[in-house]
Amino acid sequence: MNILITGATGFLGSKLAVHLAGLNHNLYILTRSPEKRSNTSHMTFVDYNTTVNELPHIDAVINLAGESLFGYWTKKKKEAILTSRLRVTKYLIQLMKDMKKKPEVFISGSAVGYYGMSEDFIYTEATAQPGNDFLASVARQWEQEASAAEKMGIRTVYARFGVLLGNDGGAFPLMSLPIKLYTGGHISDGEQWLSWIHVKDAVKLIIFCLENHTIEGPINVTAPTPKRNKDFMKKTAQVYKRPNWLHVPAVFFYLALGEMSLLLVKGQYAYPGKALEHGFTFDFPSLDLTLLDLKNN
């Protein structure tokens, strides 16, 4: 397949790109600085001024680009989080409109933050009502922008990512650092849910969506066993053989991180019902297996 992809230089996207190239797909990777990258037999780096006439027929489009959520959420930062996602998605939609032969599938990134935050509810892809906080608004607008592909008859998938766990990026290095420094413990009351997934399973599930023609609409890219923060930290401490004694009040994170602290002190239970219904098999369905793999690799 010829696959046009954004965000392929990031934590998840870089791993996905390597895996897709290994499957002999031809990738056209959109980046702001293609001159800083070296093309390979299966990877061609192109900039955001690329037109349809400069590309071969594209079979699939994968959109993972967006400003990082990490950092103090000033007004400017929040605008960048939203506009970066909408701007790239609008560009891709226009490219697809310009294509005489449309791609077969458009996989666009989103987040379980779509559902809002709760300690009580279990959210599945059947949950239609989005939350009312900032992240929910971003995810809703992002998906709404991407939905224009559906009107073109393109199978459209909204990949709602949970917290990606890996050693070389994402949230886990920061989350596990207190544990590794012998100062670990739960955040706030520890009751907030963490919908996580091993980054290897996230890559595998995106490819599953790419190849499975019956999957469309939202899909939760999460493991089937979300954990409350207190249980996540306890299990991490056990695997790394570290103490788990410190309780950090929520107010500390509010003072240090502002609104971004919601990522740590709040959460949601997002269940991957659609993936399981379609027969997807997780390589790392449990936190134990995931943490052991991260520790040993």
**Percent of the chain scoring above 90 in pLDDT:** 80
Please give the torsion angle defined by the CA atoms of residues 225, 207, 29 and 38, in that order, rounded to the nearest 10 degrees. Answer: 90
Tokens of 255: 């003072």
- What are the helix (H) ranges across the chain? 11-22, 75-98, 134-146, 148-151, 172-180, 199-211, 229-239, 250-257, 262-265, 273-277, 287-296
Note the pLDDT of residue 121: 96
Tens of pLDDT, residue by residue over 207-236, are 999 999 999 999 999 999 999 999 999 999
Note the pLDDT of residue 258: 85
Tens of pLDDT, residue by residue over 127-158, are 999 999 999 999 999 999 999 999 999 999 99
Residues 8, 13: Cα–Cα separation, whole Å:
4
Tens of pLDDT, residue by residue over 281-294, are 999 999 999 999 99
- When pLDDT is averaged across residues 38-58 and rounded to a whole number, the result is 95
- When pLDDT is averaged across residues 157-177 and rounded to a whole number, the result is 90
Note the pLDDT of residue 264: 83
- Least confident span in 25-29, 110-114, 204-208, 247-251: 247-251
Note the pLDDT of residue 187: 86
Residues 200, 60: Cα–Cα separation, whole Å:
21
Tens of pLDDT, residue by residue over 50-63, are 999 999 999 999 99
- When pLDDT is averaged across residues 19-25 and rounded to a whole number, the result is 97
